[in-house]
Structure 1
Amino acid sequence: MQGVKKDNKPAKAAPANEISSTTVSLYYSHIQIMLIDNSASIRFPMLRQIIRFSLATALSIAATTSSFAAQLVMVDQKGCHYCEAWLDDIGPAYPKTAEGKFAPLLRRDISLGAPEGSSFQRRVNFTPTFILLDKGAEVGRIEGYPGEDFFWPLLNQLLKDETTFEDSLN
Protein backbone atom coordinates (compact mmCIF):
# COMPACT_ATOMS: atom_id res chain seq x y z
CA MET A 1 0.00 0.00 0.00
CA GLN A 2 1.32 3.35 -0.92
CA GLY A 3 1.66 6.03 1.76
CA VAL A 4 1.26 3.65 4.72
CA LYS A 5 4.23 3.13 7.00
CA LYS A 6 4.23 0.09 9.23
CA ASP A 7 5.85 0.69 12.58
CA ASN A 8 6.04 -2.24 15.00
CA LYS A 9 7.83 -0.32 17.75
CA PRO A 10 6.03 0.05 21.10
CA ALA A 11 4.72 3.49 22.01
CA LYS A 12 7.05 5.70 24.02
CA ALA A 13 6.25 6.37 27.67
CA ALA A 14 5.31 9.89 28.72
CA PRO A 15 8.23 11.98 29.93
CA ALA A 16 8.85 11.72 33.67
CA ASN A 17 8.31 15.44 34.25
CA GLU A 18 4.69 15.38 33.01
CA ILE A 19 2.23 14.96 35.86
CA SER A 20 -1.26 13.62 35.47
CA SER A 21 -3.53 15.13 38.10
CA THR A 22 -7.14 15.44 39.08
CA THR A 23 -8.44 18.31 41.17
CA VAL A 24 -11.75 18.12 42.97
CA SER A 25 -13.25 21.13 44.69
CA LEU A 26 -16.37 20.86 46.83
CA TYR A 27 -18.21 23.76 48.40
CA TYR A 28 -20.55 23.05 51.26
CA SER A 29 -22.16 25.10 53.96
CA HIS A 30 -19.05 26.43 55.72
CA ILE A 31 -16.39 24.21 54.23
CA GLN A 32 -14.35 24.19 51.07
CA ILE A 33 -12.57 20.94 50.38
CA MET A 34 -9.95 20.81 47.67
CA LEU A 35 -8.32 17.50 46.95
CA ILE A 36 -5.57 17.03 44.41
CA ASP A 37 -4.76 13.56 43.17
CA ASN A 38 -1.26 13.46 41.71
CA SER A 39 -1.06 9.74 42.31
CA ALA A 40 -0.08 9.04 38.69
CA SER A 41 3.25 10.70 39.41
CA ILE A 42 3.91 8.50 42.45
CA ARG A 43 6.12 5.52 41.76
CA PHE A 44 5.10 3.41 44.75
CA PRO A 45 1.85 1.49 44.10
CA MET A 46 0.93 1.22 47.80
CA LEU A 47 1.26 4.98 48.32
CA ARG A 48 -0.83 5.56 45.19
CA GLN A 49 -3.58 3.33 46.62
CA ILE A 50 -3.49 5.17 49.96
CA ILE A 51 -3.90 8.54 48.22
CA ARG A 52 -6.81 7.29 46.10
CA PHE A 53 -8.50 5.76 49.16
CA SER A 54 -8.07 9.01 51.10
CA LEU A 55 -9.56 10.97 48.21
CA ALA A 56 -12.59 8.67 48.01
CA THR A 57 -13.10 8.78 51.78
CA ALA A 58 -12.94 12.59 51.90
CA LEU A 59 -15.44 12.88 49.05
CA SER A 60 -17.91 10.53 50.71
CA ILE A 61 -17.64 12.35 54.04
CA ALA A 62 -18.18 15.70 52.31
CA ALA A 63 -21.20 14.35 50.42
CA THR A 64 -22.72 12.95 53.61
CA THR A 65 -22.06 16.15 55.55
CA SER A 66 -23.73 18.28 52.87
CA SER A 67 -27.06 16.51 53.30
CA PHE A 68 -27.25 17.82 56.90
CA ALA A 69 -26.65 21.49 56.08
CA ALA A 70 -29.34 24.09 55.43
CA GLN A 71 -29.67 25.05 51.78
CA LEU A 72 -31.69 27.63 49.89
CA VAL A 73 -33.02 26.35 46.59
CA MET A 74 -33.97 29.01 44.06
CA VAL A 75 -36.47 27.50 41.64
CA ASP A 76 -36.42 29.52 38.44
CA GLN A 77 -37.03 29.23 34.73
CA LYS A 78 -35.75 30.72 31.53
CA GLY A 79 -37.30 34.09 30.74
CA CYS A 80 -38.36 34.84 34.33
CA HIS A 81 -37.87 38.60 34.78
CA TYR A 82 -38.18 38.44 38.57
CA CYS A 83 -35.52 35.69 38.66
CA GLU A 84 -33.21 37.95 36.67
CA ALA A 85 -33.96 40.86 38.98
CA TRP A 86 -33.04 38.71 42.02
CA LEU A 87 -29.82 37.61 40.32
CA ASP A 88 -28.94 41.25 39.60
CA ASP A 89 -29.96 42.69 42.98
CA ILE A 90 -29.00 39.95 45.41
CA GLY A 91 -27.16 37.20 43.55
CA PRO A 92 -23.62 38.64 43.74
CA ALA A 93 -23.86 39.50 47.45
CA TYR A 94 -25.75 36.44 48.67
CA PRO A 95 -22.79 34.02 49.14
CA LYS A 96 -20.92 36.68 51.15
CA THR A 97 -23.71 37.25 53.68
CA ALA A 98 -24.35 35.37 56.93
CA GLU A 99 -27.52 33.97 55.35
CA GLY A 100 -25.65 32.82 52.24
CA LYS A 101 -22.92 31.14 54.27
CA PHE A 102 -25.46 29.39 56.47
CA ALA A 103 -27.75 28.30 53.60
CA PRO A 104 -25.83 28.21 50.30
CA LEU A 105 -27.87 28.81 47.16
CA LEU A 106 -28.71 26.07 44.70
CA ARG A 107 -30.47 27.17 41.51
CA ARG A 108 -32.93 24.66 40.12
CA ASP A 109 -35.10 24.80 37.00
CA ILE A 110 -38.83 24.50 37.72
CA SER A 111 -39.11 21.47 35.43
CA LEU A 112 -36.58 19.45 37.47
CA GLY A 113 -38.37 19.31 40.82
CA ALA A 114 -36.52 18.82 44.10
CA PRO A 115 -32.77 18.10 44.08
CA GLU A 116 -31.77 14.45 44.47
CA GLY A 117 -32.07 13.35 48.08
CA SER A 118 -34.41 16.25 48.94
CA SER A 119 -38.15 16.79 48.98
CA PHE A 120 -40.52 19.71 48.58
CA GLN A 121 -43.76 19.84 50.60
CA ARG A 122 -45.77 20.87 47.57
CA ARG A 123 -45.39 21.62 43.88
CA VAL A 124 -43.68 24.85 42.79
CA ASN A 125 -46.06 26.97 40.68
CA PHE A 126 -44.29 30.35 40.54
CA THR A 127 -40.77 31.51 39.82
CA PRO A 128 -38.74 32.47 41.57
CA THR A 129 -39.59 30.35 44.59
CA PHE A 130 -36.99 30.14 47.34
CA ILE A 131 -37.23 26.87 49.27
CA LEU A 132 -35.31 26.43 52.50
CA LEU A 133 -34.14 22.86 52.99
CA ASP A 134 -32.86 21.51 56.28
CA LYS A 135 -31.52 17.95 56.27
CA GLY A 136 -32.95 17.57 52.77
CA ALA A 137 -36.56 18.42 53.68
CA GLU A 138 -38.42 21.64 52.99
CA VAL A 139 -38.91 23.72 56.12
CA GLY A 140 -40.14 26.94 54.50
CA ARG A 141 -40.43 28.93 51.30
CA ILE A 142 -40.68 32.41 49.86
CA GLU A 143 -42.79 32.59 46.71
CA GLY A 144 -41.89 35.35 44.29
CA TYR A 145 -39.36 38.12 44.62
CA PRO A 146 -40.80 41.15 46.42
CA GLY A 147 -37.67 43.27 45.94
CA GLU A 148 -34.43 43.61 47.85
CA ASP A 149 -35.93 45.61 50.73
CA PHE A 150 -38.42 42.84 51.54
CA PHE A 151 -36.43 39.75 50.56
CA TRP A 152 -33.68 40.06 53.21
CA PRO A 153 -36.03 40.41 56.21
CA LEU A 154 -38.24 37.57 54.94
CA LEU A 155 -35.26 35.26 54.47
CA ASN A 156 -33.69 36.24 57.77
CA GLN A 157 -36.92 35.52 59.67
CA LEU A 158 -37.41 32.22 57.85
CA LEU A 159 -33.89 31.11 58.75
CA LYS A 160 -34.31 32.11 62.41
CA ASP A 161 -37.73 30.44 62.71
CA GLU A 162 -36.88 27.17 60.99
CA THR A 163 -33.16 26.52 61.60
CA THR A 164 -30.37 27.17 64.09
CA PHE A 165 -29.41 30.37 62.24
CA GLU A 166 -28.50 33.27 64.51
CA ASP A 167 -28.38 36.72 62.97
CA SER A 168 -25.10 38.44 63.76
CA LEU A 169 -26.85 41.83 63.89
CA ASN A 170 -29.05 40.91 66.88
Structure 2
Amino acid sequence: MYHMVRQMLQKISRLALAVLTTALVWPAHMQASELLMFERGGCVWCQRWDREIGPVYDKTAEAKLLPLRRITTESQAARSITLASPVHYTPTFVVVDNGREIGRITGYVNDDAFWGLLAALAARIAPPRRSANRI
Protein backbone atom coordinates (compact mmCIF):
# COMPACT_ATOMS: atom_id res chain seq x y z
CA MET A 1 0.00 0.00 0.00
CA TYR A 2 2.79 2.42 0.86
CA HIS A 3 4.37 1.60 -2.46
CA MET A 4 1.20 2.67 -4.32
CA VAL A 5 0.99 5.91 -2.32
CA ARG A 6 4.64 6.65 -3.06
CA GLN A 7 4.09 6.06 -6.79
CA MET A 8 1.06 8.33 -6.78
CA LEU A 9 3.01 11.07 -4.99
CA GLN A 10 5.83 10.75 -7.52
CA LYS A 11 3.38 11.12 -10.39
CA ILE A 12 1.77 14.14 -8.77
CA SER A 13 5.16 15.76 -8.14
CA ARG A 14 6.20 15.15 -11.77
CA LEU A 15 2.95 16.67 -12.96
CA ALA A 16 3.41 19.67 -10.66
CA LEU A 17 6.95 20.15 -11.95
CA ALA A 18 5.71 20.04 -15.55
CA VAL A 19 3.01 22.61 -14.81
CA LEU A 20 5.49 24.89 -13.03
CA THR A 21 8.00 24.62 -15.86
CA THR A 22 5.31 25.43 -18.41
CA ALA A 23 4.16 28.42 -16.36
CA LEU A 24 7.71 29.78 -16.24
CA VAL A 25 8.53 29.17 -19.89
CA TRP A 26 5.16 30.09 -21.41
CA PRO A 27 5.52 33.92 -21.11
CA ALA A 28 8.76 33.77 -23.10
CA HIS A 29 6.93 32.06 -25.95
CA MET A 30 3.97 34.42 -25.73
CA GLN A 31 6.04 37.36 -26.98
CA ALA A 32 4.29 37.74 -30.30
CA SER A 33 6.41 40.50 -31.83
CA GLU A 34 10.12 41.25 -31.75
CA LEU A 35 12.91 42.94 -33.64
CA LEU A 36 15.73 40.61 -34.63
CA MET A 37 19.09 42.26 -35.26
CA PHE A 38 21.37 40.08 -37.36
CA GLU A 39 24.97 41.16 -36.84
CA ARG A 40 28.53 39.93 -37.18
CA GLY A 41 31.79 40.77 -35.45
CA GLY A 42 33.71 43.66 -37.01
CA CYS A 43 30.68 45.14 -38.78
CA VAL A 44 31.25 48.92 -38.69
CA TRP A 45 27.58 49.63 -39.45
CA CYS A 46 26.52 47.40 -36.54
CA GLN A 47 28.92 49.33 -34.31
CA ARG A 48 27.50 52.63 -35.55
CA TRP A 49 23.95 51.40 -34.76
CA ASP A 50 25.18 50.39 -31.30
CA ARG A 51 26.52 53.91 -30.71
CA GLU A 52 23.59 55.87 -32.14
CA ILE A 53 20.52 53.73 -31.42
CA GLY A 54 21.60 51.04 -28.97
CA PRO A 55 21.68 53.23 -25.82
CA VAL A 56 18.14 54.55 -26.34
CA TYR A 57 16.30 51.69 -28.05
CA ASP A 58 15.15 49.94 -24.86
CA LYS A 59 13.60 53.20 -23.63
CA THR A 60 11.35 53.71 -26.66
CA ALA A 61 7.75 52.80 -27.47
CA GLU A 62 9.09 50.70 -30.35
CA ALA A 63 11.05 48.56 -27.88
CA LYS A 64 7.88 47.88 -25.91
CA LEU A 65 6.18 46.62 -29.06
CA LEU A 66 9.32 45.06 -30.59
CA PRO A 67 11.86 43.90 -28.00
CA LEU A 68 15.32 43.52 -29.53
CA ARG A 69 16.95 40.11 -29.94
CA ARG A 70 20.46 39.98 -31.36
CA ILE A 71 21.51 37.08 -33.58
CA THR A 72 24.93 36.59 -35.12
CA THR A 73 24.96 35.69 -38.80
CA GLU A 74 27.15 32.71 -37.92
CA SER A 75 24.34 31.28 -35.76
CA GLN A 76 21.59 32.53 -38.04
CA ALA A 77 19.26 29.60 -37.43
CA ALA A 78 16.62 31.70 -35.68
CA ARG A 79 14.69 28.96 -33.99
CA SER A 80 10.95 29.02 -34.50
CA ILE A 81 11.21 32.01 -36.86
CA THR A 82 10.17 31.80 -40.50
CA LEU A 83 12.27 34.23 -42.55
CA ALA A 84 11.24 35.29 -46.05
CA SER A 85 14.85 34.83 -47.19
CA PRO A 86 18.29 34.27 -45.63
CA VAL A 87 20.14 37.22 -44.14
CA HIS A 88 23.31 38.08 -46.07
CA TYR A 89 24.20 41.63 -44.95
CA THR A 90 24.70 43.17 -41.54
CA PRO A 91 23.08 44.73 -39.80
CA THR A 92 19.74 43.41 -40.93
CA PHE A 93 16.71 44.12 -38.75
CA VAL A 94 13.80 41.71 -39.12
CA VAL A 95 10.41 42.47 -37.59
CA VAL A 96 8.75 39.23 -36.54
CA ASP A 97 5.17 38.70 -35.40
CA ASN A 98 3.99 35.30 -34.16
CA GLY A 99 7.13 33.65 -35.53
CA ARG A 100 6.77 35.01 -39.08
CA GLU A 101 8.69 37.80 -40.78
CA ILE A 102 6.66 40.97 -41.30
CA GLY A 103 9.44 42.93 -42.97
CA ARG A 104 13.09 43.87 -42.75
CA ILE A 105 15.53 46.73 -42.81
CA THR A 106 18.76 45.78 -44.54
CA GLY A 107 21.69 47.92 -43.44
CA TYR A 108 21.97 51.01 -41.29
CA VAL A 109 22.57 54.48 -42.70
CA ASN A 110 21.49 56.85 -39.93
CA ASP A 111 19.06 57.17 -37.06
CA ASP A 112 16.38 59.07 -39.03
CA ALA A 113 16.19 56.39 -41.71
CA PHE A 114 16.15 53.60 -39.13
CA TRP A 115 13.33 55.11 -37.03
CA GLY A 116 11.23 55.90 -40.13
CA LEU A 117 11.59 52.42 -41.59
CA LEU A 118 10.97 50.78 -38.21
CA ALA A 119 7.80 52.85 -37.70
CA ALA A 120 6.48 51.68 -41.07
CA LEU A 121 7.14 48.04 -40.16
CA ALA A 122 5.69 48.42 -36.67
CA ALA A 123 2.49 49.84 -38.19
CA ARG A 124 1.94 46.46 -39.89
CA ILE A 125 1.55 44.75 -36.53
CA ALA A 126 -1.97 44.73 -35.15
CA PRO A 127 -2.18 46.22 -31.66
CA PRO A 128 -3.10 43.74 -28.93
CA ARG A 129 -6.81 43.51 -28.21
CA ARG A 130 -7.99 45.09 -25.00
CA SER A 131 -10.46 43.36 -22.80
CA ALA A 132 -13.97 44.81 -22.79
CA ASN A 133 -13.74 45.13 -18.99
CA ARG A 134 -10.68 47.37 -19.09
CA ILE A 135 -10.99 51.10 -19.06
Does the 8 A contact of 1:114 with 1:120 survive in 2? no
Compared CA separation, residues 114 and 98, structure 1 to 2 (3 A): farther
* Residue 62 (structure 1) aligns with: 27
- State which drifts further: 109-118 or 133-142: 109-118
| C-alpha distance in structure 2 between counterparts of 1:148 and 1:108, whole Å | 21
More helix by share: 2
* Residue 109 (structure 1) aligns with: 72
Question: What is the DSSP-based 3-state SS (H/G/I as helix, E as strand, rest coil) of the residue aligned with 2:58?
Answer: helix
| C-alpha distance in structure 1 between counterparts of 2:60 and 2:103, whole Å | 19
Residue 118 of structure 1, aligned match among 65, 70, 81? 81
**TM-score after normalising by structure 2:** 0.77
Q: Cα distance, 1:61 vs. partner?
A: 2.2
Q: Is it true that 1:164 corresponds to 2:129 in the alignment?
A: no
Residue 98 of structure 1, aligned match among 57, 61, 72? 61
**Cα distance per residue 1:112-164 (max 9 Å; x no partner):** 2241111211111110000011111111000000111211111011110x212
Question: What is the DSSP-based 3-state SS (H/G/I as helix, E as strand, rest coil) of the residue aligned with 2:54?
Answer: coil
| C-alpha distance in structure 2 between counterparts of 1:94 and 1:81, whole Å | 19
| C-alpha distance in structure 1 between counterparts of 2:25 and 2:40, whole Å | 31
Q: Cα distance, 1:53 vs. partner?
A: 5.4
| C-alpha distance in structure 2 between counterparts of 1:92 and 1:98, whole Å | 14
Q: Is it true that 1:88 corresponds to 2:51 in the alignment?
A: yes
One-letter code of the match for 1:60?
A: V
Q: Is it true that 1:147 corresponds to 2:119 in the alignment?
A: no
One-letter code of the match for 2:44?
A: H
Compared CA separation, residues 88 and 51, structure 1 to 2 (3 A): farther
Question: What is the DSSP-based 3-state SS (H/G/I as helix, E as strand, rest coil) of the residue aligned with 1:154?
Answer: helix
Mark the structure with the bigger radius of gyration: 1
* Residue 15 (structure 1) aligns with: none
* Residue 137 (structure 1) aligns with: 100
* Residue 3 (structure 2) aligns with: none
**TM-score after normalising by structure 1:** 0.62
Aligned length: 117
Percent identity, aligned pairs only, is 38
| C-alpha distance in structure 2 between counterparts of 1:53 and 1:137, whole Å | 28
| C-alpha distance in structure 2 between counterparts of 1:62 and 1:146, whole Å | 34
Q: Cα distance, 1:59 vs. partner?
A: 1.7
Superposition RMSD in Å: 2.2
**Cα distance per residue 1:11-46 (max 9 Å; x no partner):** xxxxxxxxxxxxxxxxxxxxxxxxxxxxxxxxxx99
Instruction: Return structure 1 stretches of 4+ with deviation > 2 angstroms.
Output: 49-55
